[in-house]
Amino acid sequence: MKDKPSELSEHWPGAPVAGNGLLDRRVFLRGTLGGLTLSFTAPLAAAPRDALVPTQRAPGRPFENYGQPSPHERSVVRWIAATEGVPGNGISWTPLEQLDGALTPNGLHFERHHNGIPDIDPALHRLRIGGAVARPLEFDIEALLRYPRVSRQCFVECGGNSNAAWRRRPVQTTAGNFHGLVSASEWTGVPLAPLLDQAEVDAKARWVIAEGADAFSLTMSIPLSKARDDCLLALFQNGERIRPAQGYPLRLLVPGWEGVLNVKWLKNLYLAEQPAMARNETARYTELMPDGRARQFTFTMGPKSLITRPSAQMRLPSPGFYEISGLAWSGHGRVSRVEVSADGGESWAEAALAEPVLPAALTRFRAPWRWSGGPAVLQSRVTDETGRVQPSRAELLAERGRHGYYHYNAIVSWAVAADGYLTHAYVDTPPETTPLEDLFMDEKWD
Amino acid sequence: MKDKPSELSEHWPGAPVAGNGLLDRRVFLRGTLGGLTLSFTAPLAAAPRDALVPTQRAPGRPFENYGQPSPHERSVVRWIAATEGVPGNGISWTPLEQLDGALTPNGLHFERHHNGIPDIDPALHRLRIGGAVARPLEFDIEALLRYPRVSRQCFVECGGNSNAAWRRRPVQTTAGNFHGLVSASEWTGVPLAPLLDQAEVDAKARWVIAEGADAFSLTMSIPLSKARDDCLLALFQNGERIRPAQGYPLRLLVPGWEGVLNVKWLKNLYLAEQPAMARNETARYTELMPDGRARQFTFTMGPKSLITRPSAQMRLPSPGFYEISGLAWSGHGRVSRVEVSADGGESWAEAALAEPVLPAALTRFRAPWRWSGGPAVLQSRVTDETGRVQPSRAELLAERGRHGYYHYNAIVSWAVAADGYLTHAYVDTPPETTPLEDLFMDEKWD
């Protein structure tokens, strides 16, 4: 079977452009097919020419004020990994492999909470801007809603996303439960810069210390230059007001930087000459390097991509044509290029990028592939507009050593077995034994 | 009050660029403020320099698998106008004035159902392609999910949206309950063209007749050229699978054309030389013109815009600075320009457009405005990339007469009273008495 194209595949217009069956992305573009049939699968049956599917005979359900997904899609939910013994502490993962497009529905945006989701009455909430300012200010939500707003589509990614890939053996789970601490939305809110101008920030100030109103009181330090550049006080997400789990009524948006900086339930912005040196910028979100020193304030999320379909724990039903589809992003700017490999990085084909391609946003990529039925290793590699390239796992480990935890952005490999089943694989790093510390990695969400 | 700028407004960097207080849109762009303060409102209070908002003392709510909006936003819902006596027949309106950005959350997308929302098991659903084809085909959803997909952000607008504006006196309701039969999403699905190729459409075929699986069995005829051009079998909306009320498991997407063509619960595509002349393309969705003849198959939604904030039934609390914000779109392509007037069309200022600006998508526009406290009439006017300009109400009535019902796309006027209250107004058409036929307009949703 593996070397004999099916009846439908004979219609395929293009020869492979990279090893193991990768085809030219231009077959997706209208007008390049030359009348040939893009037959990815056989239809169920040849139906009689005039056979129509019969009509339902009873009225359907009534209207609703606010819609919900189909009960048939009830498996499309976030996996919740809560920390035992700490109420409301944990994470939930966006099921990336079950979604398509470049945006995440609000109900499925990943979450990271330290002490649960506070119920905040927007009429009582306040934002204060204080510290090294000439005019300390206090706003309620109604006052903030008077200011001019901007909208932008961008991702939020947890600095600890994909950290299971630091383990010495490949962890087997779905793409979303592995890499799903990244989501993308259209955010709308008030730019921070004019509010800082209004508060008359002292010339010596270099940091903005943001604090949330949850019981954990998450505190994070952000360079003033970034705050002035493109930070938003986000009030709307994908058109509607931000939901409680995303920071209602007010969230700080720090485009392209670590998710933890996007402080939810924002209540204080404190201007200072020095960072706060708070728990989540000292005991957490620092990285021990091979030379024994730790990196700190590693804000920007690097270039990263992964194939979401097909991906781990899926099974290809038969040899033939498939669309490889995935997400690429970089905190440094726009995605400029995504390449896909079906032979573990021996050869690469250019993927098609879905418009719009926006800075610090998720970009959907697609590439056509003909699976022969033999072993394959699927990978994607992104290059961003600054020229930064997503590293291989070997390159990442060479730079960062074996004590990494945050900012894992190496190429992801999905191995396809002869029966079509996909697993997570390491293909360019040697096998390692599993020391005890791996056992503790799940415990770090605290 | 009206001629004396407030203390904060003295910081304003720019002089008005159009009558009645419209300011230069470039004040929104970073770097043009020259250190001046963009003070749209006074903050609540000058707070003590180090006063911080206190921290919550109790853990918040736990994680959820699928998130929901805040209970404090329970007024942000769709208004449902159901037809008495016909189960599941009616419409629901997107609350445009309560949203921001250019996308609509799935739970608030407008709806038009003729006989309720069918509960379809995706495992049992079929799509048939038949009629004038050499190879009639039948697909289940799993087979369709094997095909290559595309994603695009675009609007869906009901052909009857805004039809209350055909009435002889301005109807007073919110912007959403008036113009909210338009919504925008990122849609992902399978292009129709390769499936039609696979079915080997007869050379004589000119129309695709699409039929839905609801009890109403909505049937619509679409030119084959449009079907081949950019129609999609939509499976995903804003990242997740389409919801039941939007056509789960499968909807036809016909970008930029009348909403009714975007057949939900799609089950049949029938190729033919002639259109079906079905109820919704003969008894409905035709337009009686001044010469006594009716237009038919008026597919494309024309250039249209409206200001969503401030808008009817809102009240400006005091004179001062406001952001005028709204939505613009055209079924013919991209929005190229939006102008805003504060003096009922006497003078116009260019609005800022939020990126991305995409073909047949909603585009968010924004313009700064200083309300003096005197009477004002707010309007917006869009020009699309084909050069088409949104008409005034007088221009639309001159072309279409007084028997119009569909495709109302004239400039919308919000009158601001001295107390700040906004109402819907006609400013360029003479007052008319209200004949009986106006009373029947609400009854036409059947």
pLDDT in tens, A357-411: 999 999 999 999 999 999 999 999 999 999 999 999 999 999 999 888 899 999 9
Task: List, in sequence order, every residue forming a beta bridge with B93; answer none if it has no partner.
Answer: B79
Q: Is the pLDDT of residue B433 over 90?
A: no
Q: Which of B181, B184, B179 is nearest to B413 (CA)?
A: B179
Lowest-pLDDT range of A10-24, A167-181, A303-317, A417-431: A10-24
Give the residue, B176 or A430, on which the prediction is more confident: B176
- Compute the distance between CA of residue A373 and CA of residue B380 in angstroms, rounded to an integer: 58
Whether omega for the bond prior to residue B310 falls within 30 degrees of 0, making it cis, is yes
pLDDT at position A56 is 78
- Chain B hits for A106, CB-CB cut-off 8 Å, are 67, 69, 105
Measured between CA atoms, the residue of chain A closest to residue B68 is A107
- Chain B hits for A198, CB-CB cut-off 8 Å, are 37-39, 43
- Chain B hits for A73, CB-CB cut-off 8 Å, are 240-241, 248
pLDDT at position A50 is 64
Tell me the pLDDT tens digit for each residue of A157-197: 999 999 999 999 999 999 999 999 999 999 999 999 999 99
Q: Is the pLDDT of residue A4 over 50?
A: no
Q: Which of A326, A297, A329 is nearest to A413 (CA)?
A: A326
**Residue B47 CB: number of other CB atoms within 10 A?**
21
B32 touches chain A (CB under 8 A): no
Token reading at A285: 């979100």
Token reading at B218: 């909505």
Average pLDDT, integer, range B189-212? 96
Say if the Cβ atoms of A67 and B107 lie within 8 Å: yes
User: For A254-362, where are the E strands, in sequence order?
Assistant: 266-272, 287-288, 294-295, 304-309, 320-329, 335-341, 349-350, 352-353
Three-state secondary structure call for residue A86: coil
- Chain A hits for B77, CB-CB cut-off 8 Å, are 65-66
| Cβ(B87)–Cβ(A62) below 8 Å | yes
**pLDDT band at residue B7 under the 50/70/90 scheme:** very low
- Chain B hits for A197, CB-CB cut-off 8 Å, are 33, 35-38
- Compute the distance between CA of residue A392 and CA of residue A327 in angstroms, rounded to an integer: 17
pLDDT at position B193 is 94
Average pLDDT, integer, range B399-425? 95
Say if the Cβ atoms of B325 and A78 lie within 8 Å: no
State the DSSP string of B260-324.
GGS-SSEEEEEEESS----GGGTTSS-EE-TTS-EE----BPPPEEEEEES-TT-B--SSEEEEE
The residues, any chain, with a CB within 8 Å of residue A203's CB and separated by 6 or more, are none
Q: Is the pLDDT of residue B3 over 80?
A: no
Whether omega for the bond prior to residue A431 falls within 30 degrees of 0, making it cis, is no
Q: Where are the alpha helices (DSSP H) in B51-207?
A: 141-144, 175-179, 192-199
Nearest to B267 among A53, A188, A246 (CB): A53
- Chain A hits for B50, CB-CB cut-off 8 Å, are 130-131
pLDDT at position A87 is 86
Q: What is the DSSP letter of A274?
A: S
How far away is chain B from the Cα of A434, in angstroms, using its nearest Cα? 31
Average pLDDT, integer, range A255-277? 97
Say if the Cβ atoms of B51 and A188 lie within 8 Å: no
pLDDT at position B35 is 40
Q: Which of B65, B144, B153, B140 is nearest to B103 (CA)?
A: B153
* Mutation choice for B interface testing from A108, A128, A263 by most B CBs within 10 A: A128
| Cβ(B253)–Cβ(B201) below 8 Å | no
Q: Quick one: how far is CA A257 from the chain centroid?
A: 12
- Chain B hits for A253, CB-CB cut-off 8 Å, are none
Q: Which of B309, B362, B303 is nearest to B99 (CA)?
A: B309
- Chain B hits for A68, CB-CB cut-off 8 Å, are 107, 243
The residues, any chain, with a CB within 8 Å of residue B437's CB and separated by 6 or more, are none
Tell me the pLDDT tens digit for each residue of B121-178: 999 999 999 999 999 999 999 999 999 999 999 999 999 999 999 999 999 999 999 9
pLDDT at position B257 is 98
Say if the Cβ atoms of A88 and B60 lie within 8 Å: yes
Measured between CA atoms, the residue of chain B closest to residue A229 is B30
The residues, any chain, with a CB within 8 Å of residue B244's CB and separated by 6 or more, are A61, A70, B117, B118, B119, B120
- Compute the distance between CA of residue A90 and CA of residue B326 in angstroms, rounded to an integer: 39
| Cβ(B317)–Cβ(B35) below 8 Å | no
Average pLDDT, integer, range A326-336? 98
Say if the Cβ atoms of B366 and A148 lie within 8 Å: yes
- The second-level CATH assignment, the architecture, of A111-295 is Alpha-Beta Complex (3.90)
Instruction: Report the half-sphere exposure of B50 (CA within 13 A, side-chain side).
Output: 1
Measured between CA atoms, the residue of chain B closest to residue A43 is B139
How far away is chain B from the Cα of A168, in angstroms, using its nearest Cα? 30
pLDDT at position B86 is 85
- Chain A hits for B59, CB-CB cut-off 8 Å, are 87-88, 115-116, 215
The residues, any chain, with a CB within 8 Å of residue A291's CB and separated by 6 or more, are none
* Mutation choice for B interface testing from A23, A26, A53 by most B CBs within 10 A: A53
How far away is chain A from the Cα of B383, in angstroms, using its nearest Cα? 21
- Chain A hits for B196, CB-CB cut-off 8 Å, are none
Tell me the pLDDT tens digit for each residue of A343-361: 999 999 999 999 999 999 9
- Compute the distance between CA of residue B80 and CA of residue B332 in angstroms, rounded to an integer: 29
Measured between CA atoms, the residue of chain A closest to residue B27 is A148
**How large a percentage of chain B has pLDDT more than 90?**
77
| Cβ(B36)–Cβ(A91) below 8 Å | no
Average pLDDT, integer, range B102-117? 96
Say if the Cβ atoms of A214 and B128 lie within 8 Å: no
Question: Looking at chain B from residue 284 to 323, which residues have their Cβ under 8 Å from any Cβ of chain A?
Answer: 321-323
Three-state secondary structure call for residue A285: coil
A6 touches chain B (CB under 8 A): no
Token reading at A278: 């708070």
Q: Are strands B126-131 and B266-272 parallel, antiparallel or unpaired?
A: parallel
How far away is chain A from the Cα of B70, in angstroms, using its nearest Cα? 6
How far away is chain A from the Cα of B220, in angstroms, using its nearest Cα? 15
C-alpha dist (Å) from residue B30 to A150, A229, B33, B38, B101: 11, 8, 7, 11, 19
The residue whose two tokens read 């029938």 is B270
B149 touches chain A (CB under 8 A): yes
Tell me the pLDDT tens digit for each residue of A43-85: 666 666 666 676 678 889 999 999 999 999 999 999 999 887 8
Token reading at B281: 């393309």
Say if the Cβ atoms of A52 and B128 lie within 8 Å: yes
**pLDDT band at residue B74 under the 50/70/90 scheme:** very high
Nearest to A76 among B105, B116, B241 (CB): B241
Question: Looking at chain A from residue 211 to 250, which residues have their Cβ under 8 Å from any Cβ of chain B?
Answer: 211, 213-215, 217, 229, 235-236, 238-241, 243-246, 248-249
- Compute the distance between CA of residue A112 and CA of residue A259 in angstroms, rounded to an integer: 9
- Compute the distance between CA of residue B234 and CA of residue B216 in angstroms, rounded to an integer: 20
Q: Are strands B413-416 and B422-425 parallel, antiparallel or unpaired?
A: antiparallel
| Cβ(A235)–Cβ(A187) below 8 Å | no
How far away is chain B from the Cα of A369, in angstroms, using its nearest Cα? 10
How far away is chain A from the Cα of B197, in angstroms, using its nearest Cα? 6
**pLDDT band at residue B2 under the 50/70/90 scheme:** very low
pLDDT at position A84 is 77
- Compute the distance between CA of residue B69 and CA of residue B217 in angstroms, rounded to an integer: 33
How far away is chain A from the Cα of B395, in angstroms, using its nearest Cα? 32
**Residue B71 CB: number of other CB atoms within 10 A?**
10
**pLDDT band at residue B6 under the 50/70/90 scheme:** very low
Q: Which of A28, A4, A46, A10 is nearest to A319 (CA)?
A: A4
| Cβ(B321)–Cβ(B369) below 8 Å | yes
pTM (2 d.p.): 0.93
pLDDT at position A34 is 39
Q: Is the pLDDT of residue B81 over 60?
A: yes
* Mutation choice for A interface testing from B27, B57, B64 by most A CBs within 10 A: B64
Of these ranges, A133-147, B4-18, B100-114, the one predicted with the greatest mean pLDDT is B100-114
| Cβ(B307)–Cβ(B412) below 8 Å | yes
**Residue A34 CB: number of other CB atoms within 10 A?**
6
Do A111-295 and A304-444 show the same overall fold? Answer: no
Question: Looking at chain B from residue 317 to 356, which residues have their Cβ under 8 Å from any Cβ of chain A?
Answer: 321-323, 325, 354-356
Query: Hey, where are the domains in chain B?
Result: 111-295, 304-444
**How large a percentage of chain A has pLDDT more than 70?**
87
Q: What is the DSSP letter of A61?
A: B
CATH node for A304-444? 2.60.40.650
Q: Is the pLDDT of residue A24 over 90?
A: no
**Mean confidence (pLDDT) of chain A:** 89
- Compute the distance between CA of residue A245 and CA of residue A123 in angstroms, rounded to an integer: 18
